[in-house]
Amino acid sequence: MIIFGKDERTKFEGIREALSNSVCRQYDEAKIYHDGKWVMFEPTDTAEFDDYMKLLAIKRKPNRK
């Protein structure tokens, strides 16, 4: 599960074209709560692994060193 806050949802829209249709569909179907959009991903194979890494990169804080 990944919870996307307001800024993270904007970042998602910025990379949407680089993601697979199934990942975008799961994102679109997820419910928005007061603290963000909660998206449950259920990987069935490694085909979407790169997409998940891109999504996790949105969540990571940049290394300032």
Q: Where are the domains of the chain?
A: 2-59
35-44: pLDDT as tens digits: 999 999 988 8
Mean pLDDT of 41-56: 91
Answering whether pTM is above 0.75, one says: yes
In contact, 46 and 18? CB cutoff 8 Å: no
What DSSP line would sit under 15-45, residue for residue?
A: HGGGS-HHHHHHHHHSPEETTEEEE-----S
